[in-house]
């Protein structure tokens, strides 16, 4: 088995491949690492056939769909998942066949109802069902501490104690442990009695993960994250530095249009000399009146540099082939002590 572990903050993801047939699967991929999975697969001579989420993640953005689009791999999840865009729904006892490698599905609801573990040769990918020295939480949508108890004590912990445990999270830089080690030392598993385990899980009082709303929305629908929208827009447009723009404004460059896409009140409080106001919300509908000459060099400006990137990308798509975005925004412009008009 060819095996790569990729950590992103506390999130752990895995590329597993069959050396004989060059087929591979990625488990719990994260959006910021897409190029890395593809690069590792290429380096190891692997072709990604399956992208698998062990459950619907509430704390990071799943890259299964992104990888599938770039590789024609199939998205795999447990059959009970609420996520759309799943190509292959699997059930307890099914096997995902990756060349000569077999990934055995173990349905382990509890952390979420669609949680599953995957056994491959000498190891088990435990998702958030079993972590090193911990377990997944059960207080997020579809979580159930009674089910987690049954999945752990009735199923996962009955596997060979020598099996290596590769979880979907570890925040302390550990790569893996074993089933036996977890039974021996995991404090959550010390509560071997069902009611005591449930009571402990229901009283952990954990804070909500950051991005939970956005992670659930995008992971369930296949929709895009804000970061993805911005990255896609940024890839479509060139940028201009603040210093460069200031020089050109002060030189009175003729075919330059500084387009301030903030709201009227923000614009009135202070803008770049000669900037034209066209709020982002009205851009598409008023662009014909406001920007009659598509050959002008249009520089979009906003407060923080994000909305202006989206606006410049929209303008490019509409045929303003010289639209660029300011690298920075009015906040940075003021902080740099550059001149503003009000």
Point out which residues bind Fe ion (CB under 5 A).
57, 128
Give whichever of 146 and 270 is closer to Fe ion, judged by the CB atom: 146
| Minimum CB–partner distance for residue 203 and Fe ion (Å) | 19
Closer by beta carbon to Fe ion, 128 or else 182: 128
- Where in 58-135 does DSSP place strands (E)? 74-78, 88-90, 95-98, 101-107, 116-120, 123-127, 130-131, 134-135
The minimum distance between CB 216 and Fe ion, in angstroms, equals 11
Nearer to Fe ion, 58 or 301 (CB): 58
Give the bridge partners for 327, in sequence order: none
Query: b/e for 243-254, b at 16 or more Cβ within 10 A?
Result: eebbeebeeeee
Q: Which is nearer to Fe ion, 30 or 128 (CB)?
A: 128
Query: Cβ of residue 116: shortest distance to Fe ion, in angstroms?
Result: 12
> Which of 80, 82, 78 is closest to 94 using CA atoms?
78
**Of 169 and 224, CB closest to Fe ion:** 169
CA distances to 3, 55, 104, 129, 164 from 122, rounded to whole Å, are 12, 22, 12, 18, 6
Q: Minimum Å distance from CB 48 to Fe ion? A: 22
User: Residue 33 — φ and ψ, nearest 5°?
Assistant: -110, 10
The Cβ of residue 124 has, within 10 Å, a number of other Cβ atoms equal to: 26
Which H or E run contains 195? helix 194-201
Residue 15 to residue 312: CA distance in whole angstroms: 37
Minimum Å distance from CB 215 to Fe ion?
Answer: 9
Answer yes or no: are the C-beta atoms of 48 and 71 closer than 8 Å. yes
For 197, list phi and psi in degrees, rounded to 5. -65, -45
Buried b or exposed e, range 154-191, using 16+ CB within 10 angstroms: eebbeeeeebbbbbbbbeeeeebbbbebbeeebebbeb
CB of 128 to Fe ion, least distance (A): 4
CA atoms within 13 A on the CB side of 190: 7
Q: Which residue is nearest to Fe ion (CB)?
A: 128
57/188 with CB nearer Fe ion:
57
Q: Which is nearer to Fe ion, 128 or 303 (CB)?
A: 128
Residues 295/284, Cβ–Cβ less than 8 Å? no
CB of 274 to Fe ion, least distance (A): 51
In the complex, what is the shortest distance from the CB of residue 218 to Fe ion, in angstroms, rounded to a whole number?
A: 14
Nearer to Fe ion, 57 or 224 (CB): 57
């Amino acid at each position: 088995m060819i095996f790569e572990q990729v950590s992103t903050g506390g999130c752990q993801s895995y590329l597993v491949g069959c050396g004989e047939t060059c087929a591979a699967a990625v488990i719990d991929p994260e959006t910021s690492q897409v190029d890395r999975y593809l690069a590792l697969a290429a380096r190891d001579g692997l072709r990604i056939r399956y992208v698998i989420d062990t459950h619907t993640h509430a704390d990071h953005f799943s890259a299964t769909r992104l990888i599938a689009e770039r590789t024609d791999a199939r998205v795999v999840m447990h059959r009970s998942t609420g996520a759309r865009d799943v190509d292959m729904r699997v059930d307890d006892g099914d096997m995902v066949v990756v060349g000569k490698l077999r990934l055995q599905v173990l349905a382990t609801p509890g952390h979420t109802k669609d949680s599953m573990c995957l056994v491959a040769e000498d190891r088990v990918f435990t998702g958030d069902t079993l972590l090193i020295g911990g377990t997944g939480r059960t207080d997020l949508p579809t979580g159930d501490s009674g089910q987690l108890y049954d999945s752990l004590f009735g199923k996962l912990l009955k596997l060979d104690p020598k099996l290596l445990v590769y979880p979907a999270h570890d925040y302390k830089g550990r790569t893996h442990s074993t089933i036996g080690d977890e039974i021996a030392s995991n404090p959550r598993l010390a509560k071997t009695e069902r009611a005591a385990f449930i009571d402990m899980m229901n009283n952990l009082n954990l804070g909500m993960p950051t991005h939970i709303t956005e992670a659930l929305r995008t992971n369930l629908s296949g929709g895009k994250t804000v970061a993805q929208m911005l990255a896609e827009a940024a890839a479509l447009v060139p940028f201009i530095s603040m210093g460069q723009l200031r020089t050109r404004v002060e030189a009175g460059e003729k075919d330059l249009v500084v387009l301030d896409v903030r709201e009227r009140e923000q614009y009135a409080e202070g803008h770049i000399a000669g900037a034209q106001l066209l709020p982002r919300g009205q851009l598409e509908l008023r662009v014909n009146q406001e920007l009659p000459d598509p050959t002008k060099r249009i520089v979009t400006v906003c407060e923080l540099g994000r909305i202006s990137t989206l606006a410049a990308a929209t303008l490019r798509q509409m045929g303003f082939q010289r639209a660029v975005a300011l690298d920075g925004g009015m906040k940075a412009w003021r902080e740099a002590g550059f001149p503003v008009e009000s």
